[in-house]
A = this chain, B = another copy of it.
Amino acid sequence: MSKKELRIGLVGYGFMGRTHSNAYKRVGDFFPDLQYRPVLKAVSARNAERLEAFAKQWGYESFETDWRKMVQRTDIDAIDICTPNDKHAEIAIAAAEAGKMVLCEKPLARTVAEAQPMVDAVEKAGVANTVWYNYRRIPAVTLAKQLIDAGKLGKIFHYRANFLQDWTISPELPQGGEGLWRLDDNAAGSGVTGDLLAHCIDTAMWLNGGIKDVSAVTETFIKERVHTASGKKQKVGIDDACIFHCHFDNGSLGLFESTRYARGHKALYTFEINGQHASIKWNLHDLNRLEYFDHRDDSLERGWRSIHVTDGDMPYMDKWWVPGLSVGYEHSFVHQMADFLQSLEENKPCSPTFREAQETQKVCEAVLASAASKSWKETGTSWPG
């Protein structure tokens, strides 16, 4: 009764390469009942020296400086894409065509047009696929989903989310280069919209359904930055900040904001949902807590409840420690990996699939188009894809 191997080929060894590698190595320790066991078969990137160091540190069996070679290897079952966004499509399509499962970092691609053949490729090949919108699998966020699905909130009136950071305020920061490709329009596709709002949109549609239309504004506070490719000051093409309001399909109003210029907030992803009977709040800086307000409580005892989501009956928490003991950011990736492996056992899709992630892409694109044209835009989404 030994486990089946799921042989992983990872492309990219940056921040996300680390979070995914950790997920592969942790999942078996904490989810012992899974039938699949990830094996770190190979990792690929261009810089051979750093690649080798990464492979050694994390225990990858081999490495390839050309991802195309890795995609063709017969000892690999799944390709995991952790490159900058501009490489997602090419790699994903090649992997699908080679019959590999594909796991792709978010956002799926830079544009809807770029993403469409990716969706087509995985569906045509019939390979398992998922996109790492990891925040859904933070236990408190999953608990929010359970409460909503159980009807605790009643009719929803409002959904608001923001994702606030402050790491690009300095005009000295270049665009492009190690860790800074997120400032380079060509590599990233957009600024905060694809990087941060995409997370907010994925969670929002998962929790509250499709988004019908949007009205947005974007801003680029620092207009020129040195580009590391040219060594010269160039126009900055990304959005530093993006705000939009919208209508959800269920009639509720949505409000989203993201920026990298909110001094004092490192990675403050928050959302709040207001329903007829109850409301929910969450934020990433205190990720083990879910705030819940239930108007049906006796009026003298009614207040926002701060739920410390660490008990064994809470989502995923039977796998970890004991009540009161927190988990961290990286656990969300372990949970997504566990769910992916479970979906393989059950031969079911692992949400969000490429198809679902394409719907998030459509909202992002409508947001950017709305900001550019200063007008409302229909998103054309059909949720869940």
A interface residue numbers (CB < 8 A to B): 15, 19, 21-22, 25-26, 28-29, 32, 53, 57-59, 143, 146-147, 152-153, 157-158, 160, 164-167, 169, 215, 217, 219, 221, 241, 243-245, 247, 253, 255, 257, 259, 261-268, 274-279, 284-295, 297, 299-308, 310-311, 313-314, 320-331, 374-376
Asked whether, in the complex, the Cβ of B308 is within 8 Å of the Cβ of A301, the reply is: no
8 pairs of A and B residues whose beta carbons are closest in the complex: A267-B324, A266-B324, A264-B293, A303-B307, A303-B305, A328-B328, A325-B329, A266-B323
Asked whether, in the complex, the Cβ of A295 is within 8 Å of the Cβ of B215, the reply is: no
Known interface pairs A29-B25, A321-B329, A328-B326. Does A262 touch B274 (Cβ–Cβ under 8 Å)? yes
Smallest CB gap from A247: residue in B? B217
Of the residues B15, B261, B275, B375, contact of A158 by C-beta under 8 Å = B261
Q: Which residues of B contact A326 (CB under 8 A)?
A: 284-285, 287-288, 326, 328-329
Asked whether, in the complex, the Cβ of B323 is within 8 Å of the Cβ of A267, the reply is: yes
Distance (Å) between the CB of A243 and the closest chain B CB? 5
Asked whether, in the complex, the Cβ of B329 is within 8 Å of the Cβ of A266, the reply is: no
Smallest CB gap from A169: residue in B? B276
Q: Which residues of B contact A259 (CB under 8 A)?
A: 157-158, 253, 274
Known interface pairs A278-B263, A279-B264, A328-B326. Does A306 touch B308 (Cβ–Cβ under 8 Å)? no
Extra 7 A-B pairs, beta carbons < 8 Å, given A32-B53, A288-B326: A146-B300, A245-B245, A263-B277, A284-B326, A300-B314, A301-B305, A303-B305
Known interface pairs A266-B310, A375-B375. Does A292 touch B299 (Cβ–Cβ under 8 Å)? no
Q: Which residues of B contact A320 (CB under 8 A)?
A: 328, 330
Distance (Å) between the CB of A216 and the closest chain B CB? 8
Asked whether, in the complex, the Cβ of B301 is within 8 Å of the Cβ of A307, the reply is: yes
Each complex incorporates copies of this chain amounting to 4
Distance (Å) between the CB of A31 and the closest chain B CB? 10
14 contacts between A and B (CB under 8 A): A15-B322, A26-B26, A164-B274, A215-B215, A244-B245, A261-B274, A263-B275, A263-B278, A266-B325, A297-B305, A301-B305, A302-B307, A303-B308, A304-B305
Of the residues B305, B313, B324, contact of A165 by C-beta under 8 Å = B324
Q: Give CA–CA (A221, B311) in the complex, Å.
A: 24
Q: Which residues of B contact A264 (CB under 8 A)?
A: 274, 278-279, 293, 295, 304
Q: Which residues of B contact A300 (CB under 8 A)?
A: 143, 146-147, 307, 313-314
Q: Give CA–CA (A265, B304) in the complex, Å.
A: 9
Of the residues B58, B293, B305, B330, contact of A302 by C-beta under 8 Å = B305
Known interface pairs A278-B263, A300-B146. Does A32 touch B15 (Cβ–Cβ under 8 Å)? no
Distance (Å) between the CB of A67 and the closest chain B CB? 23
Q: Give CA–CA (A166, B326) in the complex, Å.
A: 17
Known interface pairs A266-B311, A292-B303, A303-B306. Does A323 touch B167 (Cβ–Cβ under 8 Å)? yes
Q: Which residues of B contact A325 (CB under 8 A)?
A: 266-267, 284, 328-329
Q: Give CA–CA (A326, B266) in the complex, Å.
A: 11
Q: Which residues of B contact A166 (CB under 8 A)?
A: 274, 295
Asked whether, in the complex, the Cβ of B322 is within 8 Å of the Cβ of A267, the reply is: yes
Smallest CB gap from A219: residue in B? B253
